[in-house]
């Protein structure tokens, strides 16, 4: 989430969706990642909840 420092709350849902998409595709190869990003862009956006995001372990 450090990449998204200073996100306006108006656009927070968009940034969280983008973060989740990047996390889901980080282990894919370049071609597979492009394909998934393109197909995902054409889909209807899901409703996001806090359960959709990994929470860091408490120190």
Whether residue 32 lies inside any domain: the answer is: yes
Percent of the chain with pLDDT over 90: 2
- Is residue 53 included in any domain, yes or no? no
* Banded model confidence at residue 48, pLDDT cuts 50, 70, 90: low
Confidence (pLDDT) at 24: 81
Which tokens sit at 5?
């420092």
Residue 4: CB atoms within 10 A of its CB come to: 12
39 in a structural domain: yes
* Number of structural domains the chain divides into: 1
What is the structure's pLDDT at 40? Answer: 77
42 confidence band (pLDDT: 50, 70, 90): confident
pLDDT of residue 4: 57
- 20-40 confidence digits (pLDDT tens): 888 888 888 889 888 888 887
16's tokens = 């969280």
């Amino acid at each position: 989430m450090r990449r998204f420092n200073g996100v306006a709350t108006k656009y927070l849902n968009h940034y969280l969706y983008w973060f989740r998409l990047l996390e889901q595709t980080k282990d894919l190869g370049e071609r597979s990642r492009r394909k998934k990003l393109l197909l995902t862009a054409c889909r209807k956006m899901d409703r996001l909840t806090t359960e959709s995001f990994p929470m860091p372990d408490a120190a």
